[in-house]
Structure 1
């Protein structure tokens, strides 16, 4: 056979990532070739391609008998959106004779830089897919091209800390069970969630109040929907499926139930795809009240599944900065007022009072007189200290300097 000499032809990624590569990153790897005998090659090329494909068929499910063509024959809607196209030559012969490669194991390294623009995340749905491939092509003289493909997982990061995803979402709905004279009462439902953006593996706390004023026993439950939207040939088709659910307790007639943060865990699903013109993947949280013998009451809130987890501390700082940003009034509030100079000595003690004190100040006594007039000295010493001039004022002084200016009473 013509390919007997090529025992192994394979593409290996050095930095394999289960979560996928994102825009601007380097995809590095090796092309592995194992030859049973020496051979001559023309070139080894590498190509990376990615596109969004959408296709669905409309029409009767049963074929027409006798091979006739029905007036309502099946019609196909198809659309393609190209997202990635890279090409690189790894090995190439200089002349027409080709390049001789000896038998054995060979590894040719490569690097592919993904574009900086956002790429659509890899996805496989009911009527379409987003697929990226890395293809290695081996060209040899007088042989058809031999190629091998490797899927390249791509993920477009969605930050749930974006301001538009941090606001709470709420909705209220009410339904009258029965009609006209057979109406038995309303069922009301109020649902709210703390924010709009979440990530895989996180739980959504649901706050809800269900009031049952009808005569029937109702059962509430919460579900997460994945809504796939496909657009081709001017038509749109949607596919909606449940990816997670949780059931509440039965609510008898005349009673109400309150959910104070009932948690619904998000399973491993594809993040929201909102940057493609022909394929979208969206999510919603719905709280449904099932009413026997009547149509169910449902409240549906939009949810975005992202890749960057929620950062409560960073979000609080962002909200505080936005709150005080106009005028930067917070800066003026945080700075202390400049210190004021102490009052002047003349503003506190008048000249007449100072002269009177100096003329009438008692002298220290000796012996028993000192012991008998102890109270009088204490008062006079206090008055003398109060009437002393203050030390020279300085706004900046070291602790040692400030202590040297303190006068003790004599």
Structure 2
């Protein structure tokens, strides 16, 4: 049969390797080739290519009216974010191309729009990017080959809005028929809003239990998928990471000094699509027996670019220091002792010899001292002002010495 003459028909992307496909972002070029292997000469009509990126949302809801009447309502919405068509092989008007047996390659390339939506597979919707090749032949059904590719839009958490600390407080009155009343209060704080997969969220919390029964605190990262179609909304919530704390007894108080909850390998937040949103929340709750749980929610943004320890400026350092000052062991941190002067930690003879070698504008070695046992507290946090002040003091000593 003529249909069996096509041994293989597939789409391959440049840069792909076994078990590792390339990942794209908005504005990049997607290049590859259509592979066609024939066992004998074949007459072809045309070879076309189509690339599509589509956000598709769909769900159904069953409603009842009275005791015996029921109907199902469907909600569906489609948004195309990529649409590219190309003809890789086309004969003239009324002609047919005859390809010999063997392997044939047809390269292709196209540019992605500058801003896209990250690939996603959810409960009631998806974001998919595909490349489809169609082989047309006379008197034979068309042969199709499809390739799915992944798009991940970069989301940098090193911005002032995502580096700002998040905090909140809640309280609830515990009531039970077998015990008296009491108030359970919860306050929690995290050092920033944006995180990347693999990073640890340090949770600082205080739980006060004034009730007569023990309560149990918990913390979890919750993913919320929001789908919108025809003016209706549908949500799906998933717990992607969780951590349980020790019970807090009646009349007791518990402090969390930076409990670490690691962000698992989840997809980034999707914030710019009108029909599909993916949001994350840090939920800190306290389970109270006989009463609904006490819940505190702090917003999160999961990005693709992790925290840069130096490129983000001092915002991350300042916020972390503030958290430590507010939550460290129920009180302020111990005042750090300043480091000693250089001339105080070397021998007197070496100090005089070193002063003799110092000249204005040039310091010859040895300048740094090697102290085997240094029992002072760690120096205070680095600041450019204090650093330059130390250099100016040393220059003054060199001039006067």
**TM-score when normalising by structure 1:** 0.72
Counterparts of 2:2 and 2:281 in 1: how far apart (Å)? 55
Tell me the equivalent position of 1:25: 28
Tell me the equivalent position of 2:157: 160
Shift of the alpha carbon at 1:26?
1.5
Point out the more displaced range, 130-139 or 13-22.
13-22
Structure 1 181/38 Cα, relative in aligned 2: closer, same or farther at 3 Å?
A: closer
C-alpha contact (below 8 Å) 2:179/2:212 kept by paired residues: no
Structure 1 73/292 Cα, relative in aligned 2: closer, same or farther at 3 Å?
A: same
Counterparts of 2:151 and 2:167 in 1: how far apart (Å)? 33
C-alpha contact (below 8 Å) 2:63/2:70 kept by paired residues: yes
Q: Is structure 2 residue 209 aligned with structure 1 residue 212?
A: yes
Name whichever structure is richer in strand by fraction. Answer: 2
Counterparts of 1:87 and 1:113 in 2: how far apart (Å)? 12
C-alpha contact (below 8 Å) 1:24/1:113 kept by paired residues: yes
Among 101, 105, 122, the alignment partner of 2:103 is: 105
CA deviation profile, 1:23-57 (whole Å, cap 9, x unmatched): 01121212111101011212222110111111111
Tell me the equivalent position of 1:383: none
Structure 1 94/113 Cα, relative in aligned 2: closer, same or farther at 3 Å?
A: same
Counterparts of 1:312 and 1:193 in 2: how far apart (Å)? 17
Tell me the equivalent position of 2:185: 188
C-alpha contact (below 8 Å) 1:173/1:299 kept by paired residues: yes
Counterparts of 2:162 and 2:316 in 1: how far apart (Å)? 13
Shift of the alpha carbon at 1:213?
1.3
Counterparts of 1:215 and 1:317 in 2: how far apart (Å)? 45
Among 40, 45, 64, the alignment partner of 1:37 is: 40
CA deviation profile, 1:354-374 (whole Å, cap 9, x unmatched): xxxxxxxxxxxxxxxxxxxxx
Tell me the equivalent position of 2:368: none
CA deviation profile, 1:312-355 (whole Å, cap 9, x unmatched): 311116899xxxxxxxxxxxxxxxxxxxxxxxxxxxxxxxxxxx
Structure index of larger Rg: 1
Q: Secondary structure at the match of 1:4?
A: helix
Tell me the equivalent position of 2:122: 125
Structure 2: 5+ residue stretches without partners: 318-401
Counterparts of 1:268 and 1:202 in 2: how far apart (Å)? 10
C-alpha contact (below 8 Å) 1:176/1:183 kept by paired residues: no
Tell me the equivalent position of 1:407: none
Tell me the equivalent position of 1:177: 174
C-alpha contact (below 8 Å) 1:19/1:155 kept by paired residues: no
Q: Secondary structure at the match of 2:310?
A: helix
Q: Is structure 2 residue 91 aligned with structure 1 residue 93?
A: yes
Tell me the equivalent position of 1:368: none
Shift of the alpha carbon at 1:122?
1.0
C-alpha contact (below 8 Å) 1:226/1:284 kept by paired residues: yes
Tell me the equivalent position of 1:360: none
C-alpha contact (below 8 Å) 1:50/1:131 kept by paired residues: yes
Q: Secondary structure at the match of 2:192?
A: coil
C-alpha contact (below 8 Å) 1:9/1:32 kept by paired residues: yes
Point out the more displaced range, 295-304 or 39-48.
39-48
Structure 1: 5+ residue stretches without partners: 65-69, 321-410
Tell me the equivalent position of 2:53: 50
Q: Secondary structure at the match of 1:316?
A: coil
Counterparts of 1:222 and 1:253 in 2: how far apart (Å)? 20
Shift of the alpha carbon at 1:22?
0.5
Q: Secondary structure at the match of 2:71?
A: coil
Count residues with an aligned counterpart: 312
Counterparts of 2:278 and 2:264 in 1: how far apart (Å)? 15
C-alpha contact (below 8 Å) 2:11/2:34 kept by paired residues: yes
CA deviation profile, 1:113-139 (whole Å, cap 9, x unmatched): 1111x1111111111111111001112
Counterparts of 2:110 and 2:306 in 1: how far apart (Å)? 28
Shift of the alpha carbon at 1:72?
2.9
Counterparts of 1:24 and 1:233 in 2: how far apart (Å)? 30
Structure 1 303/319 Cα, relative in aligned 2: closer, same or farther at 3 Å?
A: closer
Shift of the alpha carbon at 1:181?
12
Q: Secondary structure at the match of 1:163?
A: coil
C-alpha contact (below 8 Å) 1:243/1:267 kept by paired residues: yes
Counterparts of 1:206 and 1:319 in 2: how far apart (Å)? 15
Counterparts of 1:93 and 1:277 in 2: how far apart (Å)? 42
Counterparts of 1:55 and 1:88 in 2: how far apart (Å)? 29
